[in-house]
């Protein structure tokens, strides 16, 4: 049996080396269990693993930025792999984009210390971004597109059929409202999609995980966090406004974020206004059936 498929009970160590010095309390155990459970659920619900008869062991490229979410993603996937619940080969990749004062040693040191297969790729996209955009602009959108293109390239070069990203529940909800308020469309981040070229699957196993849980997890695990505002372009982002709005809603009405995530899995095209999704013109009255319908059958809520 391959080493990566050994269950904890069959191995000499009872956990991945990364987890040897974690807090021993009940609170952390519950947090870790919840994150693992929700990640497994997303992997299963959205068919992130190929069928058993595919004949090839999957190889995933995990994007590692140095933020709490990507560290948490890497740790949870390794935890699942160690338990024999994720029959996948994992390779971490950090894209050094040339931001000023980027601490180049932190991620290689952490990856090496935890014996994680990895690749550090240097591509100066920062210079491209500041050349293309005015100084007052927010760099994040263009920076993200350039980063994604380079990660696709690395995935191809390393024989990985999937790029794994650390977006979580709040990222999905924030994107939904950004599209709603500023894009005039109902759309969010997909937990699984195919890139435009059709050769790399993009997957987000943390789609159901709460950002607050990932933050607690990162603190407990002692991840060496690299800030995402090295370029100084984070102030006043629309995403930050939406984030605060959702936090206010959750504070006033606890549980609303979970309800909104459930809503994204329970879409009713006939109760929206998109003519491309529902054939409104094709609706007709059947008098026989209409007589049998109870009053109030067409519920709007």
- What is the value of pTM for the model shown? 0.84
* C-beta atoms surrounding 216 within 10 Å: 17
Q: Which of 13-22, 41-50, 105-114, 146-155 has the lowest mean pLDDT?
A: 13-22
Instruction: Give kind and range of the element (H or E) at residue 94.
Output: strand 89-96
**Spatial CB neighbours of 230, under 8 Å, sequence gap ≥ 6:** 99, 100, 101, 102
Instruction: Give the ranges where 2-99 is alpha helix by DSSP (H).
Output: 26-45, 68-82
Q: Is the pLDDT of residue 138 over 70?
A: no
Position 289 scores a pLDDT of 65
Domains and CATH numbers, the chain: 3-271 (3.40.50.620)
Q: How many CB atoms lie within 10 A of CB 46?
A: 17
The pLDDT of 94-121, averaged and rounded, is 87
pLDDT digits (tens, 9 = 90+) for 141-179: 656 777 778 899 999 999 999 999 999 999 999 999 999
What is the C-alpha end-to-end distance of the chain, expressed in Å? 52
Q: Write phi, then psi, for 115 (nearest 5 degrees).
A: 55, 45
CA distances from 182 to 185, 186, 291 (A): 8, 11, 44
- Residue 202 parent element (H or E): strand 201-203
């Amino acid at each position: 049996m391959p080493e990566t498929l050994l269950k904890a009970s069959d191995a000499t160590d009872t956990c991945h080396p990364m987890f040897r010095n974690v807090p021993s309390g009940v609170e952390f155990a519950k947090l870790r269990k919840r994150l693992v459970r929700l990640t497994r659920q997303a992997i299963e619900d959205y068919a992130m693993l190929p069928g058993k008869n595919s004949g090839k062991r999957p190889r995933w490229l995990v994007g590692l930025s140095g933020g709490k979410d990507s560290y948490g993603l890497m740790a949870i996937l390794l935890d699942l792999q160690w338990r024999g619940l994720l029959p996948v080969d994992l390779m971490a990749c950090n894209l050094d984009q040339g931001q000023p004062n980027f601490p180049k040693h932190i991620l290689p040191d952490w990856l090496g210390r935890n014996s994680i297969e990895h690749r550090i790729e240097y591509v100066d996209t920062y210079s491209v971004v500041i050349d293309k955009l005015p100084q007052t602009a927010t760099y994040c959108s263009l920076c993200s597109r350039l980063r994604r293109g380079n990660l696709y390239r690395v995935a191809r070069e390393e024989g990985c059929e999937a790029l794994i990203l650390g977006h979580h529940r709040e990222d999905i909800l924030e994107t939904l409202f950004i599209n709603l308020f500023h894009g005039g469309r109902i759309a969010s981040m997909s937990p699984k999609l195919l890139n435009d070229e059709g050769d790399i699957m993009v997957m987000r196993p943390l789609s159901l995980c709460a950002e607050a849980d990932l933050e607690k997890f990162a603190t407990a695990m002692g991840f060496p966090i690299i800030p995402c505002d090295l370029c100084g372009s984070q102030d006043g982002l629309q995403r930050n406004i939406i984030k605060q709005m959702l936090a206010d809603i959750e504070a006033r009405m606890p549980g609303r974020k979970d309800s909104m995530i459930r809503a994204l899995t329970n879409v009713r095209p006939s109760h929206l206004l998109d003519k491309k999704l529902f054939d409104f013109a094709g609706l007709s009255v059947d008098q026989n059936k209409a007589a049998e319908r109870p009053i109030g059958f067409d519920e709007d809520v």
